[in-house]
Amino acid sequence: MRMQAAHTPPPGGAPPDRPGRDTPASGGEAGRRGEAGREMAAERRAGSTAPVLAVDDLWVRFRTEDGPFDAVRGVTFDVNPGETVALVGESGCGKSVMALSIMRLLPEPQAQIRRGRILFEGQDLARASERAMRQIRGNRIAMIFQEPMTSLNPVYTCGEQVAEAIRTHRRCSRKEARELALEAFRQVGITDPERRLDQFPHELSGGLRQRVMIAMAIACRPQLIIADEPTTALDVTIQAQILDLLRDLQARLGTSILFITHDLGVVAEMADRVVVMYAGEVVEQGPVQAIFRRPGHPYTAGLFRSIPRRDTPRKAPLPAIEGVVPHPSRRPPGCPFAPRCPEARGVCREQPAPWVELGDGHGARCWVHVEEAREVTAR
């Protein structure tokens, strides 16, 4: 077992073969539906070794009246061509700050990237000019926001907004932009697209509004889509339709996806690899099959235990992780999860945990694995 520097988690790879905690299987209908997409993504990655996105030791600091704090701490991960990487964690873990950092949409100067790199196709977005970012946003990197009703402008029709996004990055007339917007509406399965172009956001259902947001995201054929909780506000049926749509679009367009969610069911269905965040840092990452089979961090294991099961009695309480995510300005001195961790030891409360490789691209930031390795060595 080899330990890495705490800020350099390895890229994903094949599932490991090692003993670990039991977890719910990721199989079932969701797992089967995701297999085809994972196989196609693997084929696309085989032809390209350079990641589309490489986040390296990223730190993001917020300045408030109560003093500065780091909302993102030493985050490192890659997204490969044609791959879906899920960024997972509770609210307040830093997932959305991570997405806004990549898009360079942080509320500056209150929030700033203070260290690290965000390499997109070799270009460091952390140091790119605003002019350069305007050419990238909505064009080479697109973002689907959590709540389309607040993301779409209520005083413009849906067609006008998608056409405007197209004209920002493409030299075309208003008529040509409208035709391209119409084609994007058709691609995302919007019924009666000609009529929907001239409707305002409030005239559409939540599912249709989210499809408009996806149409806007794919209109310029981006290399990377960042989807920030895109199905949270939708009912289960519409959620399944949106996930199917994203998978289908990825298969047809070859787009990479960074999928931000707290829903592990969605992760099982969509992701090739998983990056688990807690209190602003990555605590585990690896192939989706490996993490679902044997999570390497107690926090990840706790998330799995809280998933409802079919065999759970109706009135039985669900297992929960006691406590809350610490505010970034009040982090404990050791592992930030130690106050909530059922496996915490003395060292966990005193020193930040190192990153430990668990095999084949699967790793976790946890003292438990260090102690286990010492016990094995001592035998």
Q: For residue range 225-238, what is the model confidence (pLDDT) as tens digits?
A: 999 998 877 788 88
For 92: left if phi > 0, alpha if psi spans -120 to 50, otherwise beta; the answer is: left
Give the DSSP per-residue string, 251-278: HHH--EEEEEES-HHHHHHH-SEEEEEE
Q: Furthest-apart CA pair in the chain: how many Å? A: 75
Q: How far apart are CA 1 and CA 88, in angstroms?
A: 25
Q: For residue range 31-40, what is the model confidence (pLDDT) as tens digits?
A: 444 555 455 4
β-pairing, 84-88 with 256-261? Answer: parallel
pLDDT average per 10 residues of sequence, the chain (379 residues): 39 34 40 50 57 98 93 97 96 93 95 97 95 94 85 94 94 94 94 96 92 93 94 82 90 94 91 97 97 95 88 82 90 94 93 93 92 53
pLDDT in the model for residue 2: 39
Residues of the chain with CATH 3.40.50.300: 3-140+222-312+319-378
Query: What architecture does CATH give domain 3-140+222-312+319-378?
Result: 3-Layer(aba) Sandwich (3.40)
Tokens (6 digits) for 351: 């020193």
Supply angle C-alpha 288, 27, 340, rounded to 5: 55
Q: How far apart are CA 295 and CA 304, in angstroms?
A: 9
Nearest alpha-carbon partner for 94 in 67, 112, 75? 75
β-pairing, 362-365 with 123-124? Answer: unpaired
For 185: left if phi > 0, alpha if psi spans -120 to 50, otherwise beta; the answer is: alpha
Q: Which letter does DSSP use for residue 16 in this model?
A: P
Give SS3 for 29. helix
Number of helices and strands (H, E) in the chain? 14, 13
**Structure pTM?**
0.83
pLDDT in the model for residue 13: 37
Q: How far apart are CA 343 and CA 341, in angstroms?
A: 5
pLDDT in the model for residue 177: 95
Q: Which letter does DSSP use for residue 122 in this model?
A: T
Q: Which residues of 270-293 are buried (b: 16+ CB within 10 A; e: fewer)?
A: bbbbbbbbbbbbbbbbbbbbbbbb
pLDDT in the model for residue 231: 83
User: What does each C-alpha distance from 162 to 54, 99, 138, 180 come to in angstroms?
Assistant: 29, 21, 10, 9
Q: How far apart are CA 57 and CA 247, in angstroms?
A: 30
